[in-house]
Chains A and B, each alone.
Chain A
Amino acid sequence: AQSVTQPDIHITVSEGASLELRCNYSYGATPYLFWYVQSPGQGLQLLLKYFSGDTLVQGIKGFEAEFKRSQSSFNLRKPSVHWSDAAEYFCAVVPVVNAGNMLTFGGGTRLMVKP
């Protein structure tokens, strides 16, 4: 079945430490890939997206993600985490052949930042 998996439900890092959030997908062809961030009780904000081209994608707030076709992964990274990065992060995909542009979301990873 086609799916998006975020293996880590919770992650805690210290402020200033590096961060990597994992995302794996299972689709026959490479889908369009997205990372969203959600602060508590708020809507989702797009961090970055990958459609094609350079496999290292830069986003807002100092985030980047790397698409690895061989691993069916699109992991999100940040070299130095700030306390304001504490939030929930969602990986999402749109299959390339998808007339309705439907997003399928992973279950989310909640990031906590220790002072």
Chain B
Amino acid sequence: DGGITQSPKYLFRKEGQNVTLSCEQNLNHDAMYWYRQDPGQGLRLIYYSQIVNDFQKGDIAEGYSVSREKKESFPLTVTSAQKNPTAFYLCASSKLSSNEQFFGPGTRLTVL
């Protein structure tokens, strides 16, 4: 089955620790995206990548980092610099020729 997987589904970390969220897709999509979702605020774009080894900041990139070493993978690291990291994180992918994005099931990160 083609799709996007995110792991883990739930993640707990202590304040001050970096944490990496996984996102993998087997849809052969060139573009991948990370969004943060907070209650009542919709989704906000953190980072996106349209090609391997290249990525751009979105609207709320501060305190986050990404890498794109493989087409299929786009991991997101939430660093200790992120002031309020507790949120639901969604990964998405799309063809470059299409505006339609496909979403993973999300990871809920709780920082204690």
Interface of A with B (CB < 8 Å)?
A: 4, 9, 32, 34, 36, 41-46, 49, 51, 90, 94, 100-103, 105-108
Please state if A100 and B42 are interface contacts (CB–CB under 8 Å). Answer: no
Interface of B with A (CB < 8 Å)?
A: 4, 6, 31, 33, 40-45, 48, 50, 56, 58, 88, 90, 92, 94, 96, 98-106, 108
Sample of 4 more A-B contacts, CB < 8 Å, known A49-B99, A103-B101: A43-B90, A46-B102, A90-B42, A105-B42
- Bound together, the chains give a CA A108 to CA B33 distance in angstroms of 19
Please state if B100 and A49 are interface contacts (CB–CB under 8 Å). Answer: yes
Give the interface SS of chain B, mostly helix, strand, loop or mixed.
strand
Please state if B104 and A90 are interface contacts (CB–CB under 8 Å). Answer: no
- Bound together, the chains give a CA A43 to CA B43 distance in angstroms of 11
Q: A90-B42, A105-B43, A107-B41 are in contact. Are A46 and B100 (CB under 8 A)?
A: yes
Minimum C-beta distance from A94 to chain B (A): 5
Most interface-central of B40, B41, B42, B45 (chain A CB within 10 A): B42
